[in-house]
């Protein structure tokens, strides 16, 4: 791991996004809460939050962080037949929370896939990316 002992503590925020594309029928089943494994949106939201909290256990060189805030938002996008996932992580610390935000989106997306794979084999997880970060030495980043 990188030595961050000399760094100043600052408030750090990271936002990541991703998408899970599927058939219109699968999206309808999710919206109607008609998936055998349960409420896809609630379970995926909780899984994403848990993923952020366990990032250091999953990504070998990540620092374990005491996150002050994690949230995962999942919205139904009927136009693109997708669930759009956004995560936001915050900390006051010596290193950023980009990996936690990206892990939250990834775990939420994988949970959606797991819960729906029995009825839709063509689910596509895509466009997982960092869209915002602030704090720390490198300052602010906003994706184009």
The answer to whether residue 118 sits within a structural domain is yes
Q: CB of 59 within 8 A of CB of 40?
A: no
Backbone angles phi and psi of 43, in degrees to 5: -65, -45
Is 114 assigned a catalytic role?
yes
Any idea what the CATH number is for the domain that residue 107 is in?
A: 3.30.70.640
Who's near 116: CB < 8 A, 6+ residues apart? 22, 26, 29, 30, 35, 40, 123
**Domain ranges, residue 104:** 10-134
The answer to whether residue 139 sits within a structural domain is no
The answer to whether residue 140 sits within a structural domain is no
Who's near 104: CB < 8 A, 6+ residues apart? 16, 48, 49, 51, 52, 70, 72, 87, 89
Considering the candidates 114, 120, 127, 142, report the single residue annotated as catalytic.
Answer: 114
**Residues in the chain with pLDDT values less than 70:** none
pLDDT computed for residue 108 by the predictor: 98
pLDDT computed for residue 57 by the predictor: 97
């Amino acid at each position: 791991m990188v030595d961050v002992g000399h760094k100043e503590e600052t408030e750090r925020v990271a936002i990541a996004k991703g998408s899970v594309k599927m058939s219109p029928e699968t999206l309808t089943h999710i919206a109607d809460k008609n998936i055998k494994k349960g409420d896809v949106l609630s379970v995926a939201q909780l899984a994403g939050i848990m993923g952020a909290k366990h990032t250091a256990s999953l990504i070998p060189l990540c620092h374990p962080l005491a996150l002050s805030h994690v949230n995962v938002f999942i919205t139904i996008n009927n136009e693109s037949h997708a669930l759009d996932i956004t995560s936001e992580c915050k900390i006051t610390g010596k290193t950023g929370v980009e990996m936690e935000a990206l892990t939250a989106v990834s775990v939420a997306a994988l949970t959606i896939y797991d819960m729906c794979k029995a009825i839709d084999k063509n689910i596509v997880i895509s466009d997982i990316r960092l869209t915002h970060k602030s704090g720390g030495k490198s300052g602010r980043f906003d994706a184009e």
